[in-house]
Structure formats: structure tokens, C-alpha cells
Structure 1
């Protein structure tokens, strides 16, 4: 994939390129992770070169980055899986701890491993553009859907009175707003389930909402 267009934050308009990342981008991608996930987030959980090499070797179509004025300011990574792998899973098992060595080249589901955007560029809608580009990858490859676990960082504050299912339902209805789930809804993703112990994530009480986008050319 390689496409170039312009994005705006309402004041500035900048050219952006969304493309598949390669080995030449590894240092920039690791620096982007450090910028997006600063301490106290543990640095050992940032991408490392071995993981990134697996991404571009096993599934280069699912390795996307956003570049502005020569700088990588966003990235998104996925792998292909079979639907039965989703029945019971967490982030570590479904993504092979981010190494994607379990990638299935004929998998009908494209599963999101990670998405991040540099803080200084988050008002340009790059997250949504990366998501749209992964939808295009789903269509191009003839997959049935895009799927991924969405964090629920607003859930812990209301977990004493709402079940995870109730919380997600209220976010869908617009009664509550969640920083991650509301973004995914705006991107066209819809909840299809709840996963307990998805990640060690205090804000989400370790829950995630499985969020899906279906290929409209395969589900008429």
C-alpha cells in the first residue's frame, strides 16, 4: 500500500503518506512507541527489531505506517487468523506476544495487533486514516472482517455499578464516552463480545471489547 493525501487539524494542513513499513523504518517505529508509551510504561513492551522483522516478513500487507514530512508519526499492525482462534483468547495468545508467528496466510479474519499515533499529531485524524487503510487491506485480500480487542479505559471508574456488557452498551448508545471504544465506533467498528483478562490493564479492569468491521463486499 502507498497513498498520499492531506490532513488537517482545523488550522494546519499537512501532506501524509500511508504505506507499508519496511526494515529501514524499524528505528523510527521503536522511537514512535517510546513517544506514544512513555514511562511508567515498561520499555521492554515497545516493539523490538525481532518483532518488527516478523511483521514485515510474515505479513507485510498488515504492517502500515503514517509518514508526515519524512517522519513516521503513526503505525498499525495486524495478522490473519482463523475465526476458531478467537473463541477463547487474550492479546498475548492471539498475537504471539506481538511476534505474529501464528499468522495464517489464508485466515479469513484480519486481527489488529497494535495502533498508535504520536501525541503531537493526534488531532489530524491519523488513527482513523490508518484504520480505513486496514479496512482497504481487508477488502484487497478478500478477508471477511477486521477484528481486535478494544481497551475500555473508562470502565474501572464505573465497574462497581455496571457489568462490562452494560458499559459497552451505554458507550454504543452514547450515554457514556470511552476514549478507545468511542474512537473505534467512529471508525465503523461494532462490539461483538467481551473478553476477560485480555491485557493487564487496570483502567479497563483487564477487560476488552471485541470490535469488528465486516467486509461489505462479502456480507451483502
Structure 2
């Protein structure tokens, strides 16, 4: 199981941080974090429920991580293992994650797939999301998988969709001429755009598009 202890600098003070596997005692707080991180117009039915969280810690506890700052739960990241074919990459979030229930988790697969990552708004800008992502990179290496993969929302797209296609938007983001809250963050974490998927997730801000973002295991 995963556990890492260190410090972060927040408001000119150092605070103890722990990344660990979450458990049933964390469920209520994890659901609150979902509510804080994904307010309307994001669909509330896509927030975690207890049955989904129970599956996460039962079917693949190695892929269920949370981060605490000074003893307070500040965020989480959830994954499952799938068998991904780069020659046939397109899918929806619901298909690849079993609608968040991960009953399709495949221990013999080749790819660690990101179901969700969330950091409380009050704890953002301290690099916690990047730390969670790096912890999952450790998991990719430990389990000898080929990559970490997941679909990124592109919530800035609706503001400029009348001017740019989704492909043009992502090109602008990768060039740095446009900043997207999610895609730019994932790129700062070391992930690269693989392909754009239509109707990836019900998401008005992204116009239902998602971008598959990849990090390859450097030891494979």
C-alpha cells in the first residue's frame, strides 16, 4: 500500500503532508470534496457515491489515493487498470471506468487509467494535484504498466468554441497561447495530449469533448 510523508510550503509556513490509500472512514469527506470541486453546471450525479468508493477500495485499493495537509483531507485521485489499444483509442468515460464503479478493473491490463482527480479549492495552488499525479506515476512503475492515461476536461473551450475547433483549441493550449484550467495543469504534470474524443463526458463547459492525456512509463 502507498504512504508518503513530506512537507509543503503554504503561506510561508511548512505543513506536514501525507499521500496514502483512502478507506471507508474517508468516504463522507471525499464526497464533500467532490461537491466543492465540481459545482454546477457539472452534473451532481457524477459526484462519487458510497457504492463507487466501496468498489475503489475493494477492487483496486492501490489506485485509490488521497492527500492530507496537516491532518485535513485535501484531495483524492482514483484509477483502475485497463487493457488499452493505442490503435483504437476512443471511448467514453462511462465505458472505460464502468461509470465510476470500476467493476471492469483488469489486473492483467497494460494501462493505469485515471477515473478522477480532485483537490479542494481552498488547497489549490500548492501543487497537491501534481503530487498526487506523481504518486500515480510511481504506481505505474511499481506495477510495470505501460502508461498512465485519462481523459481531461477542456472547460475553457466553450468560451472560444465559435472561433476554434477542438483540435485547434488543444493546439493553442500546447503552444501556450491559451491556458485551459485542466489541460494546462495536466501538461505541467508531464502528460501529453493523445487524441480528442467526442461525447467523452456530459460536460457543458467542454461541450462534451475530452482529451486523452498520456504519461508513458520511461522504463518500458
TM-score with structure 1 length normalisation?
0.94
Change (3 A) 1:165 1:42: closer
CA drift at 1:205 = 1.3
| Unaligned runs of at least 5 residues, structure 1 | none
Tell me which moved more, 25-34 or 84-93. Answer: 84-93
Structure in which a larger fraction of residues adopt helix: 1
Q: Is the 8 A contact 1:35 1:118 kept in 2?
A: yes
Which structure 2 segments of 5+ residues have no match?
none
Corresponding residue number in structure 2 for 1:108:
110
Q: Secondary structure at the match of 2:5?
A: strand
Which whole-Å deviations, capped at 9, do the CAs of 1:70-95 have from their partners, x for residues lacking one? 22110000000001396331111111
2-side partners of 1:36 and 1:160: how far apart? 27
Q: Deviations over 1:72-129 (max 9, x none)?
A: 1100000000013963311111111100001101110111000001111102110000
Partner residue in 2 for 1:139: 141
Counterparts of 2:39 and 2:202, CA distance in 1 = 17
Q: Residue 124 of structure 2 aligns to a residue in which SS? A: helix
Provide the C-alpha distance between the structure 1 equivalents of 2:10 and 2:47, rounded to a whole number of angstroms. Answer: 27
CA distance in 2, matches of 1:11, 1:70: 18
Counterpart-to-counterpart distance in 2, 1:156 and 1:31: 27
Given the alignment, which residue of 149, 157, 165 partners 2:151? 149
1:59-138 equivalences in 2 (<5 Å): 59-84=60-85, 87-138=89-140
After TM superposition, the runs of 4+ consecutive aligned structure 1 residues lying more than 6 A away are none
Of 179, 182, 186, 2:181 maps to 179
What are the superposed Cα offsets for residues 32-71 of structure 1, whole Å, 9 maximum, x if unpaired?
A: 2222234565543321111011001111110000012222
| TM-score, normalised via structure 2 length | 0.94
Determine the C-alpha separation between the residues in 2 that align with 1:193 and 1:46: 25
Larger displacement relative to structure 2 (96-105 or 79-88): 79-88
CA distance in 1, matches of 2:148, 2:11: 30
CA RMSD of aligned residues (A): 1.5
